[in-house]
Amino acid sequence: MPSTHLSLHYHLVFSTKDRRASIAGDWRPRLHDYLGGIVRALGGKPHGIGGTADHVHILAGLRAADSLASMVRKIKASSSGWIHQAIGSRYFAWQDGYGAFTICRSEVETVAEYIRAQEKHHRGRSFQEEYIELLRNCGIEFDERFLW
């Protein structure tokens, strides 16, 4: 085949350091907008961004030329720098790890809607419960002692 064709959509999930509720509701939409801008600046396409006070979800189409780990590292570093400077939260930090789940193009809108409804969704269950369900649904083995 003389050309390359890709459909690389990732559902990224990462939390604040120690899952502290440090993303305030009054600036959360600005953070989500900023995260979308970072994804675009890195050559990706944000399909949905949402979250609560202690974590974010990003659904993005990413380029194959960049490693997933590198992209997530750049997103987290740039956004924490923005939070320090623009918001003035000098001690804000993201947790080291993250979750990344591949999404078929036909599921992008469904997952984007799920991400946009995070506030409502988390009225009924915690981030920990949600994350464990994501891992189980994707068949990812884990030891809960090392998740948090």
Report DSSP state, residue 16: B
Beta partners for 91?
Answer: none
15 and 94 Cβ atoms separated by less than 8 Å = yes
Domain-embedded: residue 81: yes
Domain-embedded: residue 1: no
- Per-residue pLDDT tens digits for 99-145: 999 999 999 999 999 999 888 878 888 888 899 999 999 999 989 88
* Residue range(s) defining the domain that contains residue 43: 9-146
- Per-residue pLDDT tens digits for 40-97: 999 999 999 999 999 999 999 998 888 999 999 999 999 999 999 999 999 999 999 9
> For the chain, what is the domain count?
1
Residue among 141, 118, 119, 136 nearest 58 (CA): 118
Domain-embedded: residue 3: no
CATH assignment of the domain containing 18: 3.30.70.1290
